Structures are given as C-alpha cells and as structure tokens.
Amino acid sequence: MWQQKPDYAHHMEKHDGEGWLVNRDEQLVIRIKPDKPTQHAQFVLVSTYRLRQPLGNPIREQRMLRHLGIEMWLQLQKVGWSRFR
C-alpha cells in the first residue's frame, strides 16, 4: 500500500546546529550536526563517542544526507535513545 513520505522541510535546524543522543545501555553518545552543503544536497555529520568524561575523539564519523540524518534521529529515539545535554 502506498504511504506518503514524511516532509523533512518542516524539521528546522537548531540555532546552535547540533543534537546529541545517548544510549546508556550501550554506553554510546551520538552527535548529529550540519555539515557543509554542496550545490545539490545538504549533509549532516554523525559522530559516535563512548560515554565517559571527557568524551574525547569520536570512535566513528559518518557524513550522510540531511533527510537520512533526520530519519536516523527519529528512529533512534523510538528504540530507546534519549536526548543528551
């Protein structure tokens, strides 16, 4: 059955430009922030950190399309990740 795709244009960027999610069971923190856009697309940078003080360097960084970053943010919250900071 056909389903309408979500409209990601109504997800406005935060003023400071980044969002943090934490999973205390896996001891991981994810930061999603806008990256440099190209002429054809907007991107976000997804950085994964171990949950400890200080966070230090990311254990993984990935650049993805903005709408995929928004989908990832929403799906992670549905499976138990919560906002950090």
Neighbours of 31 (CB within 10 A): 19
**Per-residue pLDDT at 45:** 94
Decide: 67 and 41 in contact? Cβ < 8 Å.
no
User: What is the CB-side half-sphere exposure of residue 18 using CA atoms within 13 A?
Assistant: 13
**Per-residue pLDDT at 74:** 93
**Per-residue pLDDT at 81:** 94
- Would you give the DSSP letter of residue 32? E
Query: What is the architecture, at CATH level 2, of domain 17-83?
Result: Roll (3.10)
Q: Per-residue pLDDT for the chain (85 aa), expressed as one digit of tens each?
A: 666 666 655 555 555 578 999 999 999 999 999 988 888 888 999 999 998 888 889 999 999 999 999 999 999 999 999 998 7
**Per-residue pLDDT at 11:** 55
Domain locations in the chain as residue ranges: 17-83
